[in-house]
Amino acid sequence: MTAAAPTTPTDNRRRAYWLKTLHEWHWVSSAMCLIGMVLFSVTGFTLNHAGQIEAKPAVTSQHAKLDPALQTALESRVALIKADKASKGKAPAPAELQSWVQKQFAVDIAGREAEWSDDEVYLSLPRPGGDAWLRVSLTDGEAEYERTDRGWLSYFNDLHKGRNTGAAWSWFIDIFAAATLVFSITGLFILKMHAGNRPLTWPMVGMGLVIPVLLALLFIH
């Protein structure tokens, strides 16, 4: 049986360098992920028990009437949108309608795509934790805005799923996922470097793999 080669000072320095580097990457990524991991852990639990944790939606409705000049402008715009076959009856709300809606209902519809028909303009306005829609009648100028609020729990659940959260939150989820991978992978290498003095390291890591695999094979059909 060949004896293991003795550890040299160079080997010790190299090991110390990599261990220090891994620890630095590990604590920085863990600090970046800390709040996000708490949020995603708590909402993972609430989503898993969504049937037991019920929320009562609160619905509010507001009404207003278009100015005659704005109603005429929207009627003219319908003709232009219908003439453009590529639009398929959909186009962003014009600036004058955006301004009017902001003034009447305190709702920002900038950049939102509306569905245009001969009798109405309709905007679906989904958001985290609720829903909303705006309907503007082109026959009598009546406008109705309805908002459904399902509460803070539903709001955070939707953040977890990235539902109706927009591009900025989507970027956050991607960056958070990358940071979590760095946190996990550096943690794995740190475990490897300490495993010689901690006999339970690899059995515990193995359990983290075996338990969910067994649950999936035995209880998920």
Where among 150, 184, 199 does a domain terminate?
150
Exposed, middle or buried by CB within 10 Å (0-12, 13-18, 19+), for 13?
A: exposed
- Residue 1 has a pLDDT of 47
- Residue 4 has a pLDDT of 53
CA 119 to chain centre: 35
Structurally, how many domains does the chain consist of? Answer: 2
> What are the helix (H) ranges across 51-145?
68-83, 95-105
- pTM greater than the 0.85 cutoff: no
Copy the structure tokens of residue 112.
Answer: 């939102």
pLDDT along the chain (221 residues), means of 10: 62 84 92 93 92 86 94 90 84 93 94 91 94 95 95 94 93 94 93 87 91 91 77
Q: Is 5 part of any domain? A: no
Residue 69's nearest CA partner among 40, 33, 100, 39 is 100
Same domain, 158 and 146: no
Q: Is 2 part of any domain? A: no
Q: Is 12 part of any domain? A: no
Where among 150, 175, 207 does a domain terminate?
150
Same domain, 66 and 102: yes
Q: Quote the domain boundaries for residue 134.
A: 58-150
- Residue 7 has a pLDDT of 65
Where among 150, 178, 207 does a domain terminate?
150
- Residue 14 has a pLDDT of 84
- Residue 109 has a pLDDT of 94
Same domain, 73 and 136: yes
Same domain, 35 and 74: no
Q: Is 204 part of any domain? A: yes
